[in-house]
Amino acid sequence: MPSLVVVGAQWGDEGKGRIIDLLSKRADIVVRFQGGCNAGHTLIVDDHRLALHLIPAGIVHTHTLCIIGNGVVVDPQALLEEMERLRGLQIDISPKRLLISDRAHVTFTYHRLLDAAREATGSKLRLGTTQRGIGPTYVDKVERVGIRMTDLLDGERLRKKLELNFEQKAHLLSRLPKDERPNIDELCERYLEYGKMLAPFICDTTLILNEALRSGKNVLFEGAQGAGLDVDFGTFPFVTSSNTIAGAVCIGAGVPPKFINAVIGVTKAYTTRVGSGPFPTELNDETGEKLREIGMEYGATTGRPRRCGWLDLVQLRFAARINGFDALVLTKLDVLDQFEEVKVCIAYEYNGQKISEFPACSEVLSECRPVYETLKGWMQPTRHIRNYRDLPKNAQRFAEFISQELGIPIGLISVGPKCDDVIVLDERWVNYRF
């Protein structure tokens, strides 16, 4: 019953895709348990860049079954387009390779319209979202008016639920320009068609998943985004609309806690963030721009440039606590190859006092200033290295400093964009023997 959870330890975009791609080689099932098409995993397949938004990264391996869990919100149009793109790459997209929870909630066009209206210039509620309708979909779920994948299979039921939604949202929809307001007849027809196309993939995924875990199959749970964007523990309100931490696996996939064996946290060797919100180590200077350009820090889903800064151990320490990391994966170490000095934030200064814990209040965090430890850079290329002992000594010291400060071993180090650009420090993580 070897099951492994892989989640982001920062504000997302940590390079989870390539790590999940690597670990999927030994996985029988890969499960996405939260988020929507606002998130993305980027893989390098045969020298081609492949961005995935809803389908788990294990889809590129022919032996792996991929599951979109009930905790995910699914935009059927985006999903069908993604399926067609993968088929165009000769990747098998069939119910033998991909399943969708019948309990997953559906993102409709009106969710995207409402999201965009909130993010419009001048709005006091702008959060820097991707405007993909993810937040409004989760709102409907909590308000118990949401429409689930199973509802797309029954025209009468879908119609009744859409009518309820239109009634409940009438005051919001009326604010949209008349030519943008959704039409219930058109929506019902279009989404029933989506339901027909997706029907072979929709099922009770908890049956398959729990049976696989009981029978000893290797199961990998992949997270989207990162701990800093968790709706409970992130920099609220500048967060996503779901729980991104490891504890969300049980709810978002429908498995009991006793079936979770280990948790890996993925962190960059520096820090990035997309969208609004406090970011203590952000560098609005040449160094930040250098990190962005070398690291190609642009969003897989939106193409937006990411905000860049030095590694923040205060934030990482908090992420480690709430996730219970058994090991860390350190990604993009090679991006730091060209820096004579590398800084690591070990504490914050707030109101003249030094603090070492991550504050709950975003207003407080926005006033925190980083306290840095400066380490010597290594000024040598690392992308070709596959053995830890071959890393420059200062690169080893950098990794060991992080591990010692957090009290967590580093299991893997990524030194490039491809799946195999990895230094394995502990074989257990790639062999599912933890």
CATH architecture of 3-102+204-431: Alpha-Beta Complex (3.90)
Report pLDDT for 72.
Answer: 98
- Asked whether 54 and 60 are in contact (CB, 8 A), the reply is no
Catalytic residues: 13, 41
pTM (predicted TM-score): 0.94
pLDDT in tens, 402-427: 999 999 999 999 999 888 899 999 99
Sheet order of strands, 65-68 included: 202-203, 98-101, 65-68, 29-32, 219-222, 3-8, 262-268, 327-331, 410-414, 422-424
Confidence of residue 115 (pLDDT cuts 50, 70, 90): confident
Report pLDDT for 67.
Answer: 98
CA separation for the pair 397, 308 (Å, rounded):
22
Other residues' Cβ atoms within 10 Å of the Cβ of residue 352: 5
The verdict on whether omega for the bond into residue 237 sits within 30 degrees of 0, i.e. cis, is yes
**What are 376's strand-pairing partners?**
341
Tell me the domain boundaries of the chain. Answer: 3-102+204-431, 105-201
- Asked whether 61 and 25 are in contact (CB, 8 A), the reply is yes
- Antiparallel, parallel or unpaired: β 410-414 and 327-331: parallel
Task: Tell me the pLDDT of the chain averaged across its residues.
Answer: 93
Helix and strand numbers (H, E) in the chain are 14, 20
Report pLDDT for 246.
Answer: 98
Place of tokens 């696996």: 249
Report pLDDT for 206.
Answer: 98
- Antiparallel, parallel or unpaired: β 327-331 and 353-355: unpaired
Alpha helices in 279-387 (DSSP H): 286-295, 313-323, 362-365
pLDDT in tens, 156-214: 999 999 999 999 988 888 888 888 888 999 999 999 999 999 999 999 999 999 999 99
Q: Is residue 136 pLDDT above 70, yes or no?
A: yes
- 105-201: what fold? Adenylosuccinate Synthetase, subunit A; domain 2 (1.10.300)
pLDDT in tens, 349-377: 999 999 999 999 999 999 999 999 999 99
Percentage, residues of the chain above pLDDT 90: 84
Average pLDDT of the residues in 21-27: 93
Q: Is residue 41 pLDDT above 80, yes or no?
A: no
Report pLDDT for 51.
Answer: 83
Please state, in angstroms and as integers, the Cα–Cα distance from residue 217 to each residue in 1, 3, 223, following that order.
Answer: 6, 8, 19
Report pLDDT for 24.
Answer: 93
Report pLDDT for 181.
Answer: 86
The structure tokens listed for 407 are 């009290």
Report pLDDT for 100.
Answer: 98
Confidence of residue 86 (pLDDT cuts 50, 70, 90): very high
Report pLDDT for 418.
Answer: 85
Report pLDDT for 302.
Answer: 66
Confidence of residue 235 (pLDDT cuts 50, 70, 90): very high
CA separation for the pair 83, 186 (Å, rounded):
23
Q: Is residue 1 pLDDT above 80, yes or no?
A: no
Q: Is residue 124 pLDDT above 70, yes or no?
A: no
SS3 content of the chain, % helix, strand, coil (to 5): 40, 20, 40
Report pLDDT for 62.
Answer: 93
**What are 370's strand-pairing partners?**
348
Q: Is residue 60 pLDDT above 80, yes or no?
A: yes
Confidence of residue 275 (pLDDT cuts 50, 70, 90): confident
Reading phi first (left if > 0) and then psi (alpha if -120 to 50, else beta), residue 254 is in left
Q: Which of 431, 337, 340, 426 is nearest to 384 (CA)?
A: 337
pLDDT in tens, 300-344: 666 789 999 999 999 999 999 999 999 999 999 999 999 999 999
DSSP 8-class letter at 72: B
